[in-house]
Chains A and B, each alone.
Chain A
Amino acid sequence: MKRTLTAALAGLAMLAGASSAQAEGQLNIFNWGNYTSPEMIKKFEEQHKVKVTVTDYDSNDTALAKVRAGGHGFDIVVPSANFMPIWIQEGLLLESRPDQMENFKNVDERWVNVDWDPGRRYSVPWQWGLTGIIVDTSLYKGDINTSAIFLDPPPELVGKINVAPEMNDVMYATIRYMGGQWCTTDKDLLRKVRDKLVEAKPKWIAMDYGVIEKFASRDFGAAFYWNGAAMRARAQNPDVKFGFPKEGFPYFMDSAAILKDAKNVENAKLFLNFIMDPKNAAMISDFARYANGIKGSEQFMPADMKDAPELIVPKEFEAAGEFLKPCAPEVTELYTKIWTEVLK
């Protein structure tokens, strides 16, 4: 879920690698940037003699718009949980029945009967994680398990905070911080949400993707961002810690699904089955540093991931996390207006 523009580079590098493999079949994957393990792709290509092409997108909306426009040529897409119902309702996905595939037994029960795809008739877990707080603890020693880090920043962090430019995640965290529920239309509360964001924004340095290098170079002191990125940042700057906002934080899960107008359906099915194999799921996680939802993949993960504090939600914060469902169009419009006002 690390959504960077630089990802385009990684994608290009991967394309170059992929095109050298000789194969009969083809598979075109449309996935988030900097999110697909090149080693895992290579293994799939060799195992099934299929030439894989990976194309990047940087947001759910981009992916949706592109696929809906048609003529895309993609076989597999990896939408987030909150978008999956839209993809299914709009008839863009093939009911490929991953639940009847050989490796489905490996899917963690927790991720089988999910709201966005009950019984997993369309999609297979790719990775999951959450948006929380990243803090360089050499700058700030206080409690980091709170959205106050970016909404009411402590003086040490003012001017050093990066907030992911994700309307839904930021709106969610702020609404919960002000005491509301997701998709609320309570005007009084939303007014407070807007005022809080307008007040906090001057204390942020940026609203950008790609925080890992910036924590390494200590350009950023804190961020509202994804946990996998926090882990990658910690590898380069040991002072980096991840906090779970107690007021409420959004979970995400991206799931791989086959497009209805896919040209290489059989290869795509092979791929869905392939990524439910614990060994291969572990390769995905090893690359992007998020948990994957496949049982038994832990044993194939590198040692530093098994007990990573970023990936294990502490018991006391479990209830604060929530998967964002898509709000009604008029609610989205309201939130977009607030967002535009904040970003003006």
Chain B
Amino acid sequence: MASAREVAEAAERRDVRNRWLLSAPALLIIFFAAVGPLFVMLLYSFMAKGDYGDVKLWQFSSEGWFSVFLERDIFDDTLSVNDAHLAIFWRSVKLSLATTFLTLLFGFPTAYFIATRPERWRALWLFLITIPFWTNLLIRTYAMQEVIRNEGVINTSLLWLGLIDQPIQMMYTDLGILFGMTYVYLPLMVLPLYAAMDRLDFRLVEAGYDLYATRLKVLWRIIVPLVKPGIVAGSILVFIPSLGAYVTPRVLGGGKNMMIGNLIELQFGQGRNWPLGAALSLTLMAIVMVALLLYVRNASKSGARHG
């Protein structure tokens, strides 16, 4: 006769096994759809490049990784840091940080507004936020051209109001890219912020006012610390896709100044250097992962302090 303990243990083992079996489909999909391609990329980044694109299979070479960071000068063969790639990475990071900041600036009041509406209206406001997702990104980006062009909505309105007498050149500038990315990624900031603010206990805000805190102090000392997880989540959700953005810089930036996404595309297309393209993609991923790890570590530390 099995003792009660043995029965319990068997049940637990069965539980664990069932849990694994139930999650097996998801794990398999993740493995084959995410880890598999990554592995192919890793492999390709270490192979010699084919003459007309592709790679020479099983001919290993570190040339791809070498040229991510270093370059042999085209003209005098000296070795130096690849400043063309560095400049492109730096522009991407800069624009992504600026996008994150701007979406936070516009997203925060929006989320606050929604969270402070009466319960029955909130669903409607959230629904409105998701409307842009109904339309394809490419089409929205082309529509954005119509807004920021020299003869677009913004410039014609400003000219008509007499605020400017020359159209502001936004199209084909970093400003245009920033504008487009802020627009595209704004919902990704608003939604997690709203989720955090929805849980916010507004009695604490009232208590703050009762204790003679100014509006700014209430915002800074009460609201911001409480919705910090939302801010972090929103920033991550915006920063990461911005870093790899391809369509927006191509369509609104006029393709004159590359971002990382465009540099990678060049290697797989006209550049015919797949190993370098794969190595660049993995470098981009590594940057994102390091940034994330730092963020998470930081967040958990400060979380412990507050908690």
Which segment, of B11-19, B125-133, B190-198, B266-274, faces chain A?
B266-274
- Asked if B229 is an interface residue, CB under 8 A from chain A, the answer is no
With contact pairs A64-B52, A343-B256 given, residues A333 and B172 touching in the complex (Cβ less than 8 Å): no
Measured in the bound complex, the distance between the Cα atoms of B256 and A332 in whole Å is: 20
Say which size band chain B's interface belongs to: 35 or more
B151–A168 CB distance below 8 A: no
Interface residues of A in 67-95 (CB under 8 A from B): 68, 86, 90
Q: Would A68 and B54 be within 8 Å (CB), given that A208-B254, A340-B271 are in contact?
A: yes
Does any Cβ of A come within 8 Å of B283's Cβ? no
Closest chain A CB from B250 CB (angstroms): 7
Q: Which residue of A lies closest to B71 (CB)?
A: A337
B residues 52-103 in Cβ contact with A at 8 Å:
52-54, 71, 74-75, 83-85, 87-88
With an 8 A cutoff between CB atoms, is B258 at the interface? yes
- Chain A contacts for B172, CB-based, 8 A: 205-206, 208
Interfacial chain A residues near B169, Cβ < 8 Å: 159, 205
**Contact among A167, A205, A334 for B270, CB-based, below 8 A:** A167
Residues on A with C-beta less than 8 A from B273 are 333, 336
A207 at the interface (CB under 8 A from B): yes
> When chains A and B are docked, how far (Å) is the Cα of A334 from the Cα of B250?
24
Docked complex Cα distance between A20 and B277 (Å): 40
Q: Does A201 contact B (CB under 8 A)?
A: yes
Given contacts A62-B269, A340-B263, contact A201 B54 (CB under 8 A): no
Bound-complex Cα distance A167 to B151 (A): 30
Chain A at the B interface: SS class: helix
In the assembled complex, the Cα of A326 lies from the Cα of B254 at a distance in Å of 27
- Taken residue by residue from 47 to 69, chain A's Cβ proximity to chain B (1 for < 8 Å, 0 otherwise) reads as 00000000000010110110010
Interface assignment of B233: CB less than 8 Å from any CB of chain A:
no
Q: Is A142 an interface residue (CB 8 A)?
A: no
Taking a contact as CB atoms closer than 8 A, the residue among B52, B150, B247, B258 that contacts A344 in the complex is B258
Chain B residues, Cβ within 8 Å of A5: 138, 142, 247, 250-251
B157 at the interface (CB under 8 A from A): no
Which residues of chain B are near A201, meaning CB under 8 Å? 256
Known: A326-B52, A334-B74. A168 touches B270 (CB 8 A): yes
- Which A-B residue pairs are the 5 nearest by beta carbons? A206-B254, A344-B84, A61-B269, A336-B271, A207-B255
Residues of A near any B CB (own CB < 8 A) = 5-6, 8-9, 59, 61-62, 64-65, 68, 86, 90, 159, 162, 165-168, 187, 190-191, 194, 201, 204-208, 217-219, 326, 329, 332-334, 336-341, 343-344
Chain B residues within CB distance 8 Å of chain A: 49, 51-54, 71, 74-75, 83-85, 87-88, 138-139, 142, 149-151, 169, 171-172, 247, 250-251, 254-258, 263, 266, 268-273
